[in-house]
Amino acid sequence: MLLNQCHLLMGLMLLHEVKGTMVKLNNGGFEDIVIAINPGLSEDNKIINSIKDMVKQASAYLFNATRQRFYFKTVKIVIPQNWMHKPEYKRVTRESYNDADVIVADPFLKYGDEPYTLQYGGCGEPGRYIHFTPNFLTNDSLLVVYGPRGRIFVHEWAHLRWGVFDEYNNDAPFYTTGKYKAEATRCSSEITGQYVFQTKTGSTRKCKMRQQNHLYESECLFLPDKEQTTSASIMYMQALPSVTQFCDMSNHNVRAPNLQNKICNFKSTWEVIMDSTDFAHSSSRSTPPPDPTISLLQMQERIVCLVLDVSGSMSGNNRIARLKQAAETFILQNIEDGSWVGIVTFNNAATIQTGLQQVVSDTVRKTLNGYLPISANGGTNICAGVQKGFQVFSSKYASTEGCEIVLLTDGEDSGLSSCFAEVQRSGSVIHTIALGPSAAKELEMLADMTGGLKFSATDSVDSSSLEDAFSGISSGSRSISLQSLQIESKGQSIGPKSWMYGTVSIDKTVGNDTFFAITWSVSMHPPGIHLTDPRGKNYTTADFVVENSNLKTARLKIPGTAEAGDWSYSIQNTESAAQVLSITVTSRAASATVPPITVKSYMSRDTNKFPNPTIIYAEVTQGFSPVIGVKVIAKIESASGKTTEIELLDNGSGADILRHDGIYSRYFTAFKENGRHNIKVSIQGKDKTAKRTRRHSHTLYIPGYIEDGKIKMNPPKPEPNVNETQGNMDNFSRIASGGSFLMTDVPAGYIPDVFPPCKITDLRVELTEEDEFHFFWTAPGNDFDVGKAERYEIKTSINPLELRQVTFHHATSLNTSALIPEVAGIKQSFQYKAENFTKENGTSIYFAIRAIDDSNNIGEVSNIAMATVLFPQLLEPPSNNEYNKIVTIVVITICSFTVVCAIISIIICVLKKRKMGDPKILETA
């Protein structure tokens, strides 16, 4: 029984590590898929009915597309709390909007309803979520441009689950075959259609070809034939009735310049799916699957119990005082209005300090704050605390399902696993905070099995990781306008009579319920505080409130909406000894209709074994619009308090798969020790460099079809207002906890260089008129994307498949002895003159590159770049009929010209003879 339980827990941990999802695969059926409706949407039963129809249609389509392997078995639809309650709606358990696999929400900018999947990782890596708009689900007129909703769901599910990419490319809609002919970027290339240019008057004509690159003119459209014979591919144009399959090796178009070829190195979609763990743990079914079982769940009031460790070890390292400060911020500033909050403390036994109280006023917040612990003693019994938390819930509600426990402990507990079964049955979510280096090793398993968040905090005197952990525990199913956002979080050891300075940028998207909280570690009196708002108004220590229950925290609440702009602060340690000063600033959205700028941080894995790198991600958005041009810094803190800072980038190289998609990322390899590491991400938008932009990789908008030989155009695609999507933004700052990850197998003492340079992902090649190949890419590092590589290898082939990782060493090498690597992140170029190069029009030549460091660690082979030999041509060569017409015209013209010349010669001759008096002149004439 215990062994089976351990296997179950390990399975849950593996699922959570891949993605923050609770989806399970059971005999080919995907279970517990969560589709959540945004809490800000108005009630509309059409949305629910459309989701039901879409899922049922998608399951049958998926089953056929995966060759009778996969289908949708159970799906949960999460309905907002403010929608009318119905008897068929059950309580949510561990489902939430934030962690849903599919979300239904309006876009921030009203320019379209294109479905998309947010993808962070590379080929084969699962995505974060699928986004459908309510208009997409309820407006049947969109079916003509996107196709049936069930087919689109399967298209997006392949992105989400298996990490495949689109086989079209809106940025490169065509590619040349090199024979004065262009093709639409698609898979398979067997999909037929016409190339049409639509004029401003609405009429159409054939597209013209551009001389310089043998591609069709801009705004040329490929209109597919409505009736096709090919069955592939779903990742290109699933709307076509004949399309029922993914591209495989037999029909994959390796020449198409799409993301699937670039990121998956010319692997077909079906090959990537076959490489997945899903495929390895499934087999074909002989009978069709049953229709999906769909459950309707409704969000509820937020119900939270703080379960706090007060064992003897909490009295050391100032832990109980830091707990009081951090939990106080959570209660007074962070927890949303309307939530129910209870408090439990535990050591050898557990005690209910207060039952559930609803947060409806500042008075209730202060009352709750008075129950926070201020002393510690005794042993550690974590299960006793958790069970008492369940009792707090049960005293008001018939079920503990959907309730949340915030569990903080610093101690070990050998009996923790004894309550795992009860925790799993409870339906509650447990968020864990491990304080110090000795917290129970099994602690995170409670979060993994319940879908909770995981944090760790160190004893470092100038760390704000504990405050950051509490601030990171926001509601997963409440409107973002109600949630508290962390604007600043900074701690620093300040010498006697010295100052801590800084600036906090509050932008126009936030400002309501803004708090400045100052804490200190030693003095019984507040430090000197000077705060100046953007208009020059000054606040001093006298304006801050010091709670009687906590003499080491001063708090200032800005009335109304805080002034947008830069707030400068200076805080003086007035003591004769050094002490830690810290500042935390939180705020809420300024408007319920304008979403605030937010940052969310994730890791590629939350358990890691040396020498595998960890990738840190930060998603910066306003609503669903990516925000680019932001300075993003990740701070990684080990269990002993050692910190490393790295800048995350959105440049499309290294760990970052797409440039300017609002997802900033970087490899982290600077491991110094084993144990828990916590991550904090800070973002800064300065000097109007930050801009909103559009999401990439939407479902293909089909401009029209060819039906019975006739052109039938669809309505034009809605386009965003340039000012909306690319306007500069105010200065802003945000802080977000990225949670914690566990590191194992780091060598003690000397750590060898085992990290190779990262994969180059942005290689491109151009062929000049002088027959030189020009290469362009972003330099990798010595250790993934840090430092500088030692040398490069570049290889070429006329077959791109020869340049993959396993066959790269067999391909033809280029002489790169003169090529010197730059520091990671620098744009590099290289010119190569091929010897005995024979230019044959239309020939495509492929190249790939990899880097090697000074320890001979070899990086992964880059994306495969293509160069095509093209001869200049003013016009497309005429067809045979056109050629015959041209020859006839030329011949007639020449003949006509010859007759005219003969007549003129005769006349001249006659005139000459007349002048000479020739008697035969009249006869000759």
The answer on pLDDT for 352 being more than 90 is yes
- Report whether pLDDT(213) > 90: no
With CA atoms as reference, report the closest residue to 79 among 299, 300, 302: 299
Task: Give the integer Cα–Cα distance in Å for 533 and 539.
Answer: 8
Residue 922 pLDDT > 60, yes or no?
no
Residue 73 has pLDDT above 60, yes or no: yes
Listed range (174-178, 255-259, 692-696, 787-791) with the worst mean pLDDT:
692-696
Bridging pattern class, strands 454-457 and 429-435? parallel
CB proximity list for 656: less than 8 A, separation 6 or greater: 649, 650, 663, 664, 665, 666
Are 877 and 180 in contact by the 8 Å Cβ rule? The answer is yes
Q: Give the tens place of pLDDT for each residue, 130-156.
A: 999 999 999 999 999 999 999 999 999
> Quick one: pLDDT at residue 750?
84
Check residues 905 and 396 and name the one with the higher pLDDT. 396
Q: What is the per-residue burial (b if ≥16 Cβ within 10 Å, else e) of 463-498?
A: bbbbbbbbbbbbbbbbbbbbbbbbbbbbbbebeeee
By mean pLDDT, which of 10-24, 520-534, 626-640 is the weakest? Answer: 10-24
As annotated, the active-site residues are 156
Categorize the per-residue pLDDT at 841 as very low, low, confident or very high, splitting at 50, 70 and 90. low
Q: How many other C-beta atoms can be found within 10 angstroms of the C-beta atom of residue 751?
A: 15
Which structure tokens are listed for 169? 């490319």
* Residue 112: per-residue pLDDT: 77
| pLDDT tens figures, 243-297 | 999 999 999 999 999 999 999 999 999 999 999 999 999 999 999 999 999 999 9
CA-to-CA dists, residue 858 to 614, 665, 778, 851, 861, angstroms: 18, 22, 17, 6, 9
Residue 894 — pLDDT band, cuts 50, 70, 90? very low
pLDDT tens string 638-671: 999 999 999 999 999 999 999 999 999 999 999 9
pLDDT digits over 459-475, tens only? 987 788 999 999 999 88
Ordered structural domains, the chain, with CATH: 24-165+273-298 (no CATH), 302-478 (3.40.50.410), 499-591 (2.60.120.380), 614-696+736-744 (2.60.40), 764-869 (2.60.40)
- Is residue 40 pLDDT above 60, yes or no? yes
At 547, the pLDDT band (50, 70, 90 cuts) reads: confident
Please, which pLDDT band fits residue 770 given cuts at 50, 70 and 90? confident
Amino acid at 660: H
- The mean per-residue pLDDT over the stretch 194-198 comes to 96
Is the predicted pLDDT of residue 886 greater than 70, yes or no? no
Q: Is the pLDDT of residue 590 over 90?
A: yes
Residues 6+ positions from 315 with CB-CB distance below 8 Å: 375, 376, 377
The whole-angstrom separation of Cα 167 and Cα 182 is: 16
**Separation between Cα atoms, residue 161 and residue 182, nearest integer Å:** 33
pLDDT at 17 over 50: no
Rounded to 5°, angle at Cα 37 from 124 and 29? 45
Confidence of residue 837 (pLDDT cuts 50, 70, 90): low
Strands (E), 7-148: 24-26, 29-31, 33-37, 71-72, 74-79, 90-91, 102-104, 116-118, 129-132
Q: Maximum CA pair distance of the chain?
A: 146
pLDDT of residue 840: 64
- Chain-wide mean pLDDT for the chain? 90
Q: What is the pLDDT of residue 10?
A: 37
pLDDT given for residue 688 in this prediction: 82
3-class DSSP state for residue 800?
Answer: helix
Distance between CA atoms of 922 and 925, rounded to whole angstroms?
A: 5
Peptide bond before 361: cis, by omega within 30 degrees of 0? no
> pLDDT per residue over 607-618, tens digit each?
999 999 999 999
User: Is the model's pLDDT at 492 over the cut of 90?
Assistant: yes
Kind of pairing, strands 90-91 and 293-298? parallel
Question: With contact defined as beta carbons under 8 Å apart, do 36 and 298 qualify?
Answer: no
Q: Are strands 429-435 and 404-409 parallel, antiparallel or unpaired?
A: parallel
pLDDT value, residue 97: 95
